[in-house]
Structure 1
Amino acid sequence: MANTKPEYVRLPLRLKTKEGIWGRLKNIMFIASGVSQTIASYYWYGPMVPTWSLRFHIINNILKKYLAESLPHNTPNELSEQIDFGYIAEYIKMNNLPSRALTEDIGHNKEFDITVDGDTCMEYKLSRYGVSGDKINVLAEEDLKRANYGQPRRVSCQIVVGSEFQRCSGCRTAVGPIPKMLEPEPLGLEERIVVHFHGGAYCVGERSLTHLHVYARMSSSTGLRVFSPNYRLAPQSCFPSQLHDCFLAYRDLLRRGFKPGNILLSGDSAGGALAIALVFVLREMQMEMPAGLMLVSPWVDSTCSGASWRTNQGRDYLPALNLENPFHPTRMFYAAGRRFSKQMLEELRCPLVSPVFGDLSKMPPMLIQIGQNELLHDDICDFADKAKKQADEKSEVPVVLLEVYEDMPHAFVLLDFAEAAMQAFEGMNRFAKQVVHLDSANKKSLC
């Protein structure tokens, strides 16, 4: 029988390709060169953005170097089918940005699994979304088969409690929050909760960057616990695996007793797009909506068509890549290994992939926070303008609240030490009070 194993192209990869001393040294040198170049430039030429500290410059430039140079972004479209994206997924995982463990003065977290059993699985009714709706139904059918064979899949999730979350002396032990606070069960009949979907271009972000710190800051600011699923990542798992996992995690919370009207959906970057897409799914299936959406730099247009992708180049850590490059995050997320074409471009305009192209009527209230300098700026502003035009004018609270933070790059809350990030967390607190009436009901449910 003929050997059908594909012949993969060899790629020049900058970071470590296997564990070992040499691999670690490569990464240390990669980061050290970025740090030293940033420090030298900062003191020789002055700050690139006057309001940024040296620490902000270093982190911004390391992110930029990592995103721009860790993969060969000059790879032609014609080689798409010859790239071993299974290997690339392992390479990304091996070189994922390091996590920052939570310290007691910031917050506490617990990781747990939800089981995708027969009761969790359900058929999606998404005829409006054509091919994308069919794809998500295929995933649901696969999960149901696994559950029926006694081998259900599991989705890892986090519960995070900020250090300032506790509302009374009875809510603490000597070493932190009482154990039940780190369980995914409602603490009371009317508990409010934040469900946050992490960013990372659908490829990273799981337990990495500063997301746990962001969750803890959100919890301390709003007085709510934060629940977040560690959804499957690209390019190992492409669209719509991420959206399917987020729907399952949300549905699991409902099964545990949380009410939709007591849930704030949240997300940064790719996670923001997932939060909006989940609302589209809930609306199409005539399920009750969450109380509101808190979106930080949501990636609402995966075709990256806004003018700020050109005008803001050099002021954001995100690299402006061509969609014809097989390593463009959109390509790895949507269909790794498939050539870019006019047909793919049309598929990327599906609202479940690019929410800016969707129907934005009958949406819950939205808080949208963006950086003035980010490449996604214009795409997000277009989304906000469209949502305002299609909003119900009779709503008791602003349906779309857009906050633009001066000099800030993409998903700036990840740099949680920055003053702008602190202001953004306080903005989340104000919004949460408006849409879920926090002060009375949530305190009563917890104490």
Structure 2
Amino acid sequence: MSSSIWSSLPFVAIWSVGYWAVHVPHLLFLSLRNTIKPLRPVPQWSYRLSMGTAVLRAVFRYIGALRYQQPLQLTPGRSGDRFVRIAPPADANLFRGVFGAPSAMAKPAPVSAVWSPAPVVAPSSSHPSDGRRRKVVIYAAGGAFVTGFDPEMSSRFTSALVTSEHFGATNLLFVQYRLATRADPFPGGVLDLFTAYQHVLGLGVAPADIVLIGDSAGGNLVLALLRRRAGLLALGRNNSRSGGQDRALAHQPVRHHGRAGSVLGVDAYRPKGKALTQEEEGYISPMDHPFRLETPLYIEAGGAEGLLESIVTFAGQMADVKGNRVQFHITEDMPHDFFVAYPFIGAKKESCEALKRAKLFLEG
């Protein structure tokens, strides 16, 4: 949080009243204007989509202005036994290079996560295997690296999609990666996703049964993890804990390129006071830093996405790397991050269709 704003709670209250005094009437005006189809932001949009995006935009502008960050979940709370606090791997060899550089401002740390609809438990005498094959989605939500989501609500919504017949996963692990601050920037979020990935492997889930899914900034982190995993395999760590072939699905993975609303997130995520190497730049910004994949990659974008041109370029760069298996699809007229926002904008049908395409590709 920004101390300049939060040092005075009375100021926050006054500012908040002023903000919503302006935006509530504006939203009411839009609720009338959007009844006229040609006046909607995109004429093909439904009324719900038009108003949902308007409300979400106002909310996220408010959150961004206050520098508010979703508090990290440290106790089970409503999640009960589906909550897990994951310790980073003890094997120091897993943190070579960028992940373990002495100059890295973020270090490996415990990670909070929530399972849906039920936890995956490693087989033991007290929890014998039921013989059921697990297909696990490890999920990283968006938020421009700085704005988190309620883990209980978000995991429930996303799990409802990925465990449906459209995708067929059995379990989802919603990773509450560290939100970026000046004191805790890159590679914090990637380290946390990596820790979660190693945890799922440690539960006995085969890499071929793991799918990494990320939205927006979460898609960026998934790509960074894929880059890291390729590096580990290149170093010869092709054993039972890192071998095989997992899969990845990224929605709008280059959110931090070119939009004013994401400047705050980029500023917090990029380490300050140190010159970044080309390797570090590749992890932070996948644009213009394509890499060899060790896993198939499915990329989905909305046709009304403000950064569509950048995403198209990035997808092409990845597809052009010899040996890469990449599929890119544009869902006509959809806005940025429609997958995570589907309950609010009425994009369940489009999200399910995206998952069906991804499943066919990733399993093909």
Residue by residue over 1:18-71, the C-alpha shift from the partner in whole angstroms, topping out at 9 and shown as x without a partner, is 799878866764663342132133246732212222221222112323444555
Matches within 5 A, 1:282-321: 282-286=229-233, 287-288=242-243, 290-299=245-254, 302=256, 304=257, 309=258, 320-321=259-260
* In 2: Cα distance, 1:92 partner to 1:391 partner: 40
The 5 A counterparts of 1:351-362 are: 351-362=282-293
In structure 1, stretches of 5+ residues that fail to align are 1-7, 73-87, 97-101, 103-107, 144-152, 162-180, 310-319, 394-398, 438-447
| Distance in 1, Cα, partners of 2:176 & 2:209 | 22
Does residue 350 in structure 1 map to residue 281 in structure 2? yes
Q: 1:66 to 1:431 in 2, by over 3 A?
A: closer
Partner residue, 2:237:
none
- 1:228 matched to which residue of 2? 174
Letter in structure 1 aligned against 2:260: L
1:425 aligns with 2:352: yes
Instruction: Point out the structure with max Rg over C-alpha.
Output: 1
Q: Is residue 215–residue 340 contact of structure 2 (8 Å, CA) maintained in 1? A: no
Could you give the per-residue CA deviations for residues 359-414 of structure 1, whole angstroms, max 9, x where no partner exists? 42234111111011212212211121112211427xxxxx2111101111111112
Q: Which residue of 2 aligns with 1:317?
A: none
2:347 is aligned with 1:408: no
1:40 is the counterpart of 2:19? no
Of the candidates 201, 220, 223, which is equivalent to residue 254 of structure 1? 201
The 8 Å contact of residues 372 and 406 in structure 1, kept in 2 or not, is answered as yes
User: Taking structure 1 as reference, are residues 218 and 23 closer, same or farther at Cα in structure 2, changes over 3 Å only?
Assistant: farther
> Does 2:331 align with 1:386?
no
Superposition deviation, residue 211 in structure 1: 5.4
Matched, 1:207 2:150: yes
User: Alpha-carbon deviation of 1:283?
Assistant: 1.2
Aligned residues: 337
State how far apart, in whole Å, the 2-side matches of 1:433 and 1:253 are: 23
Return the letter of the residue paired with 2:335: P
The match for 1:65 is 58
- The 8 Å contact of residues 113 and 154 in structure 1, kept in 2 or not, is answered as no
Amino acid at match of 1:386: Q
Q: Is the 1:264–1:293 contact (alpha carbons within 8 Å) kept by the matching residues of 2?
A: yes
1:155 aligns with 2:111: yes
Q: What's the secondary structure of 2:205's corresponding residue?
A: coil
Please list the CA deviations of residues 327-354 of structure 1 after superposition, one character each: whole Å capped at 9, or x if unmatched: 622002223xx48x9x57x879711101
Residues 65-144 of structure 1 aligned to structure 2 (within 5 Å): 65-68=58-61, 70-71=63-64, 91-93=68-70, 111-116=82-87, 119=90, 122-126=93-97, 134=101, 139-140=106-107, 143=108
Q: Which residue of 29, 46, 54 maps to 2:47?
A: 54
TM-score computed with the length of structure 2 as normaliser = 0.77
Deviations 1:74-96 (A, max 9, x none): xxxxxxxxxxxxxx65x3448x9
The 1-side partners of 2:33 and 2:221 are apart by: 37
Q: Provide structure 2 residue ranges, at least 5 long, that are not aligned to the other structure.
A: 73-77, 124-129, 234-241
1:213 positional shift: 0.9
Question: Quick check: 1:405–1:420 contact (8 Å CA) kept in 2?
Answer: no
Question: RMSD in angstroms over aligned alpha carbons?
Answer: 3.8
Counterpart CA distance in 2 for 1:379 and 1:251 is: 31
Which amino acid is the alignment partner of residue 119 of structure 2? L
- Separation of aligned partners in 2, 1:158 and 1:42: 37
Aligned to 2:119: 182
- Aligned partner letter, 1:119: A
Question: In the aligned structure 2, how far is the partner of 1:57 from the partner of 1:378?
Answer: 22
Mapped partners of 2:320, 2:299: distance in 1: 15
Name the SS for the 1:370 alignment partner: strand
Q: Which amino acid aligns with 2:252?
A: S
Question: Are 1:372 and 1:409, in contact at CA under 8 Å, matched by a contact in 2?
Answer: yes
Q: Is the 8 A contact 2:222 2:248 kept in 1?
A: yes
Q: Please say if 1:364 is aligned against 2:295.
A: yes
SS at 2:42 equivalent: coil
**Counterpart of 1:218?**
162
Deviation at 1:122, TM superposition (A): 4.8
How far has the Cα of 1:424 moved from its partner?
A: 3.2
Change (3 A) 1:41 1:109: farther
Is 1:328 equivalent to 2:274 in the alignment?
no
- TM-aligned CA distance change 1:421 to 1:379, over 3 Å: farther
Would the aligned equivalents of 2:297 and 2:362 in 1 still touch at CA under 8 Å? no
* 8 Å CA contact 1:388, 1:400 repeated in 2: yes
Q: Distance in 2 between matches of 1:404 and 1:379?
A: 13
Rounded to whole Å, the distance in 2 between the matches of 1:369 and 1:154 is 31
Q: Percent identity?
A: 20
CA displacement at 1:268 relative to structure 2 = 0.6
| Residue 212 to residue 332, structure 1, CA distance change in 2 (3 Å) | farther
Task: State the secondary structure of the residue aligned to 2:145.
Answer: coil
* Partners of 2:157 and 2:173 in 1: CA distance: 13
Letter in 1 for 2:31: I
Instruction: Note closer, same or farther for the CA distance 1:59–1:388 as it changes in structure 2 (3 Å cut).
Output: same
